[in-house]
Amino acid sequence: MRGDQAPPPDSPSTPSTHLTGTTHWLSGEGFADITKLRELAAKYERQAAKVQAKIARYHTKIERLRHTATLLREKAEKSLERLPEYQQEMTQHERTIQASTSQQTTHTIGSDITSLHYRIRQLQQKIVDAQHKARRIEHRAAIRTQQAAVLKVKADRLNDQVRAAQAEAQNYRKRADRLQLASEGDVPHSGGGAAPPPPPPPPPPESGETPGEHDQL
């Protein structure tokens, strides 16, 4: 070997398996799969949140309808509060008419008796009107209650959709986590160890010797 001939350049060291595996992982299909799984999980979570907002609006309408129905029923009961008073007054007029009729010796009916009959008819009309008003108000309350029940059924169905969407989102998220853990666990074990260290540099030449002297000898 000639003394002035430089040693062959060291071949570039092979990159470690960890870096190679990581680069392949970050730019390969595994990273895309995890991104797609997490994108699907976010999509289902967004759908669940949207449906939950709709359910909240349904519940607000349900409570409003129930409150309106309660107010209408209270109004219907209030319209019937004076019925006992009307009936009592009618009974009193009937007794007065009976007493006046039994004391009369003639068959002629006086104006006092006819006025009592007219008063009784008025009271009967008031009772019928109050009952009709109460039934009409109760019918409106029943309609509000029915509407609330329909919305409640819709809200329950939407709750099922929310649970299904959340389950799908959790499923995709778990799959992404498992795939990421499996891929990260495979990277350090696929190369069988790190690259060997580079060789040490040659010792410096002694004083008084020219390079290549030992080779000429």
How much is the pLDDT for 216? Answer: 45
Residues near 116 by Cβ (< 8 Å), separated by ≥ 6? Answer: 93, 96, 97, 100
Rg of the chain (C-alpha set) = 49
Q: Are 145 and 66 in contact (CB under 8 A)?
A: yes
Taking each helix axis as running N to C, give the angle between helix 111-186 and helix 17-27, from 0 to 180 degrees, rounded to the nearest 10: 140
Q: For 7-43, write each residue's pLDDT tens digit.
A: 554 444 444 334 344 444 444 456 678 888 889 889 9
Q: Are 164 and 68 in contact (CB under 8 A)?
A: no
Q: Which residue has the higher pLDDT, 176 or 70?
A: 70
How much is the pLDDT for 199? Answer: 58
How open is the CA angle 199-201-204, to the nearest 5 degrees? 155
Q: For 145-198, write each residue's pLDDT tens digit.
A: 999 999 999 999 999 999 999 999 999 999 988 888 887 765 544 444 444 455
C-alpha 170/C-alpha 177 separation (Å) is: 10
How much is the pLDDT for 45? Answer: 93
C-alpha 199/C-alpha 7 separation (Å) is: 13
* Helix or strand holding residue 55 (H, E): helix 29-79
How much is the pLDDT for 193? Answer: 44
Q: For 125-135, write each residue's pLDDT tens digit.
A: 999 999 999 99
How many Cβ atoms sit within 10 Å of the Cβ of residue 150? 13
Provide long-range contacts, Cβ within 8 A and 24+ apart, for 40-47.
Answer: 40/168, 40/169, 40/172, 41/168, 41/169, 41/170, 41/172, 41/173, 41/176, 42/169, 43/169, 44/165, 44/166, 44/168, 44/169, 44/172, 45/165, 45/166, 45/169, 47/165
* pLDDT, mean over the chain: 78
Q: Which domains does the chain have, with CATH numbers?
A: 27-102+110-187 (1.10.287)
How would you class 41 by CB atoms within 10 Å of its CB: exposed for 0-12, middle for 13-18, buried for 19 or more?
buried
